[in-house]
Amino acid sequence: MQDRLVRFHLFGQEFTFYSDASEDEVDAIIDLLRQELEGGETVSRSAVPSSKILVLGCLRMTARYVQLQREYQDFRQTEQRTLAELAEKVRVVLD
């Protein structure tokens, strides 16, 4: 897919970037960013520059990403143990 220019507004400012992601993916990304920045603990936008708020949003998303990676690794290890146990049970039954 070819890069295309994406534009969106946040905090009364226009932001642009190039992306080769689908329209649905771009919409999901922007929605997630808005949820992170507008949800939970809110900071007075007039007291904090929008660039700092954006960095805080990125840090929150990064923390969620790292947590998901850790959970996925735990899931994979559990699945591998379960499959190994199942394979052993099948081997015992077939022997």
Q: Is the pTM of this model over 0.75?
A: no
CA 12/CA 91 separation, integer angstroms: 64
Write out the DSSP string of the chain.
---EEEEEEETTEEEEEEE-S-HHHHHHHHHHHHHHHHSSS---TTTS-HHHHHHHHHHHHHHHHHHHHHHHHHHHHHHHHHHHHHHHHHHHHH-
pLDDT digits (tens, 9 = 90+) for 9-47: 887 889 999 999 999 999 999 998 888 887 655 555 567
Decide if 58 contacts 29 (C-beta within 8 A). no
pLDDT band at 69 (very low <50, low <70, confident <90, very high): very high
